[in-house]
Structure 1
Amino acid sequence: MSPLGMGTGHPHGTRRACKNFNKAILEAANRSIPRGARRNYRPYWTEELQELENEVTNCREQVECSPTLNNNIALKASTARHKKAFNKAARTSWKQKTESLNLDKDGQKLWKLTKAMNDEDTKQIPIEIERGQEMVTGRRAANCFIDTYEEVSSIQVPDERKREIHKEIKEHQVQPNPPDYMNIPFNARELEDALKALKDKKSPGPDKITNEMLKHMGPKAKSKLIGLYKQ
């Protein structure tokens, strides 16, 4: 549930106001946020790669018009430079993606990544993994990745530590007297602090409102939201 969600114990009018507010946010998002995906989008693409690709195209046209020895040498040299830069950019991009991947939550991304390394997804860049003194690709890279993930995720938690965790959970659940700040009316500064703490690219709740939508609310929408929490 997003921060806009309200419990069923609120009056009927408040629930209706929340529903209308959620509807307004979604309508604004539909009008403002572009839909679809760019065709042939490559996240690793840079201006340098584009210039090198243009150079290869120009050299190929020169060879087609005049297939001399020098033109062929220039084509091979430009192709080699483009391939080297392309592989470097692709490896860097995949390294950044895997380092930021939360394997506990991003199961679908993990599956796509494994398929790409297994050469089953032709839309993705083949992955190379360094294993010992060699670089492996395809199924060998996928198996290496899975073995490493299995080793990291199969950590055994001692029974004593499990009992301590259960005890800590029970202690935090029991709060007969709420802190004083829980009785202070919700204000604009608290809302701004809460919005800044929201993380991007998180799945929305049943109301389909994402954190990005909340963070881009205007002054009037924020004022309305504060009023909802005060009801």
Structure 2
Amino acid sequence: MSKVKSWRWAFFIGGLIVMSLGISMSIKGRILGTSPWDVLHIGLFKNFGLTIGTWSILTGLFIIVTTSIILREMPKIGTWLNMLLIGMFIDIFNWLLPSTTNYGLQVTYFIVGLFVLSFGCGMYIAPNMGTGPRDTLMMLIVERFGGTIKTARMGMEIIVTMVGWLLGGPVGVGTIIIALASGYIVQYSLPYCRKLLIKHAGNIEGI
């Protein structure tokens, strides 16, 4: 494997791990609420068992299959790895990180988790190895129905939040904070990670 590919894979896998850590931290601090998709995953977990990470994988798989049928094309390997690894690492970190009922510690978990997951998102996107299942669905909605990415993302997240809430998932002010603030943090972390990647791997086409 070339130096460029090695660094791109390192950033991609490393970013997924970092993002999964941030997601798990926000779940540990769910007294404030969790991200829209995790509201759904936790709601499914509460009602049907399995694990939160497993539901992340299953919902991702459903989205991949649906979008592949509509687009009549197979997604990049990075999309499959995104689906599998994030779910796996969410369960690993949920097991490793200590739970707490202390309000202050849960708030700390949430705030730190927000920055960690947003940085990890920028890190995994930087090498352009394939988008996650949910981002693929968002782009498909924009392509087929028009509108902006922001509108498509907001519409998706409102729907999954409502479904997750009906299933007993934790909705709160933190759900809104993650939905609004994570994009702004990624806006800074993505170019930083791209510059860091180029510094180590050299000039890379396509990022």
Q: TM range, normalised to the smaller chain?
A: under 0.3
TM-score (norm 1): 0.22
Which structure has more RCO (C-alpha within 8 Å, separation ≥ 6)?
A: 2
Report the TM-score, using the length of structure 2 for normalisation: 0.23
Considering only CA atoms, is the larger Rg found in Structure 1 or Structure 2?
Answer: 1
Structure with more of its chain in helix, by fraction: 2
